[in-house]
Chains A and B, each alone.
Chain A
Amino acid sequence: MTIVLLFFKPNPSAPAPIYLQLMNQVKHAVEVGALKSGDQLPGIRNLAESLVVNPNTVAKAYRELEHEGVIDLRHGAGAFVKSRSAAGGKVLAAMPLVTGLVDRLKSRGLSEDEVRRLFEAALIQQEETARRR
C-alpha cells in the first residue's frame, strides 16, 4: 500500500531544501507509527507529480533516507520502510519528558513562541560548545 496523502506539499520558499522537508515527513510518519516496517512509499514519479516537485528531489530524499537507515530501496520494486529504527523508538519514549517540561514552562506564563525560541537557543548553544571543543 502506498499512500501519497502521508505527504503534504513541501513549502518551496522555506529555507530548508525540499528534499529535507520530505525526509522529515517520512521520519515523522515512522516515529509516530503511521508508517510501519515493510510499508511501501509512493514511487518517485507518482510522488513528484502529486506534490508537483522535481523527481530528482524525491529521488534524493529517498536516497538520503536509505543512507540513514530509515528505508530500503529495492531496485525496480520501490521504497520500503525498514523495521522501525531504534532512533524512532527513542524519540517516542522521550516525548513525555518534553511534554512535561513544556507544560511547566507554560504554567510559568511563557507563550508557545517563547518556549520554541528557548529550545532553539539551547540547541544552538550546545552546538557551539561542541564546536569549540
Chain B
Amino acid sequence: MNQFAIQTHALTKSYGRAEAVRSLNLEVPDGSICGFLGKNGAGKSTTIKMLLGICWPTSGAGTVLGASIRDARASLEARRRIGFVSEDKRLYHYMSVGQMICFTRSFYPRWRDALEQQLLRQFQLPLERKTGQLSKGMRTKLALLLALCRGADLLILDEPTEGLDPVAVEEVLQLLARAAADGATIFFSSHQIAEVEQIADRVAIIDDGRMLLQESLDDLKERYRRIQLLFDREAPWKPLDVRGIAAARAEGPAVSLLASGNIDEIVAAARSLDPVSLEVAQVNLKEIFLECVRRN
C-alpha cells in the first residue's frame, strides 16, 4: 500500500505568464484528514483540479492513490475510488435530486444505500427538485452525499462548507469524521481556519501558489510559541540572531516574538536583553497562518 494518498513533486500550473501553482510538493499521508489552507486565489482550486485531472499541469508530477496524474488511463481508474466536491458544486442542472442520485449510483458498485437514505433524511433534500433550483447549501449537501455514498477511499473537497450555515457546517464536519473512521483519506481546502483546526490532523498552507508549510497540526502547535518581553524602558530592540524566530515586532516597552522552534535558545538570548518580564505562550493555527502569509 502506498504511504501517501496524494503526493506531488514540483507541480506547477501557469496560465500564460501567470503562475497559479509554483513547484508544489504536497504530501497527504494515507488515513489522514488534511486541511488545505490559503487565501482566495492562493492556488488551492487549481491544485485540486490538477489532482482530479480536470486541468493538466504545466510541469511537475504527482500521484493520487498511486496513479500518476499525467497518465490519463491510470488516473481515470484511480478517480473511481475518489469522491470529490468541486468549488462550484456543479451538477447536471436539468436533473432532479433523485435522478442525480440514481445516475451517480449506477457507476459505483460499492454504493452505500443505507448511508444514502440516512443522509437524505438528515439533509432534508427535496428529491423532486431540479438541482439547478437548489440553494447553495443544498447543492453542497447533495454533492457531499454523492461523494460519500460511493464508498470512496479518498475524498477531495474544494471548500466543502462554503456558504453553509453553522448547523450544516457541523453536520458536514461530522460526516468527514465518520468517513475518516471508515478509513477514508480526506483532503479538503478551506479558508475557515477554525474548521481546519477542529477536524484536520494535518495542515498544508499555500500562498501565492507556493507551499509555505505542511505538517501535523499537533506538531505545529507544540513547536510554535509566542514570546513576549516587557521592559521598564523603551525596548532595546536589536534583531536576535537565533534560529527559529519566525517574526519579531517591537513597540514602546514591548517586544513580541513568534518562534517556530528552538525555544530554549531564543528565551536565553532574549533574557540577555534584561527584560522585566518574559512570557512564553502557546499559539493557535490562526496566528501561525497569519504570520506565514504575512511573511510571504
Contacts and interface: CB of A to CB of B under 8 A. Distances in A.
Contacts of B45: none
B194 A13 contact: yes
A18 B194 CA distance: 12
Contacts of A49: 174, 177-178, 181
Given A52-B170, A56-B33, A60-B218, A12 B177 contact: no
B286 A13 contact: yes
Contacts of B281: 15
Interface string B204-228: 0000000000000110011000000
Contacts of B200: 54
A19 B199 CA distance: 12
A56 B222 contact: no
Contacts of B284: 13-15
B280 interface: yes
B181 A48 contact: yes
B181 A55 contact: yes
Contacts of A74: none
The dominant DSSP class at the A interface is helix
Interface in B15-36: 31-33
B218 A53 contact: no
Contacts of A56: 31-33, 180, 201
A57 interface: yes
Contacts of B217: 17
Interface in A36-69: 44-45, 48-49, 52-57, 60
A55 B33 CA distance: 9
B272 to A, nearest CB: 14
Contact of A53 (B32, B198, B264, B282): B198
Given A16-B221, A17-B222, A52 B174 contact: yes
Contacts of A15: 221, 281-284
The dominant DSSP class at the B interface is helix
A124 interface: yes
Contacts of B170: 52
Contact of B173 (A14, A52, A60): A52
A75 interface: no
A55 B174 contact: no
B197 A54 contact: no
B181 A17 contact: no
A90 interface: no
A46 B277 CA distance: 45
Contacts of B197: 12-13
A10 to B, nearest CB: 8
A131 interface: yes
Contact of A55 (B180, B194, B221, B280): B180
A12 B218 CA distance: 11
Interface of A: 12-19, 44-45, 48-49, 52-57, 60, 124, 131
Given A48-B181, A52-B173, A54-B201, 15 more contacts: A12-B198, A13-B194, A13-B285, A15-B221, A17-B222, A45-B181, A48-B178, A48-B180, A49-B181, A52-B198, A52-B199, A54-B180, A55-B181, A56-B32, A56-B180
Interface of B: 31-33, 170, 173-174, 177-178, 180-181, 193-194, 197-201, 217-218, 221-222, 264, 279-286
